[in-house]
Amino acid sequence: MSTNLFDLSLEDKLYRTRFETDHDFRHIEVEDSVCRTCAERTCLDICPAEVYKPDPNDARLVVARYENCLECGTCRVMCEPEGIRWRFPNGGMGVKYRYG
């Protein structure tokens, strides 16, 4: 019995990937000074892996959970004020797709 990927939740889809976390290199950084002045906050809605969340300590800021990143680069394109610094993870680190 095969599973239709369109019927899976985000959590189920993310389970099908693995991220080799490099604790010494955060490949995503949010520039707080830019984030504070951003009215759109597109990053909260555009990321397919929901990497970006409002900072629980300051609602004007956004935190990035880089461990969930699918490395699609959507955030780099959609953050018009360029408040997201996104780099590829170091070699051998980052997303590892289990299927597909």
List, for residues 24-53, the tens digit of each pLDDT value.
Answer: 899 999 999 999 999 999 999 999 889 999
Range of the domain at 41: 5-97
- Lowest mean pLDDT: which of 19-28, 33-42, 90-99? 90-99
**Residue bearing the bigger pLDDT, 19 or 3:** 19
d(CA 14, CA 8): 10
What is the count of structural domains for the chain? 1
**Residue bearing the bigger pLDDT, 70 or 14:** 70
Q: The dihedral of CA 51, 89, 71, 86: what is its sign?
A: positive
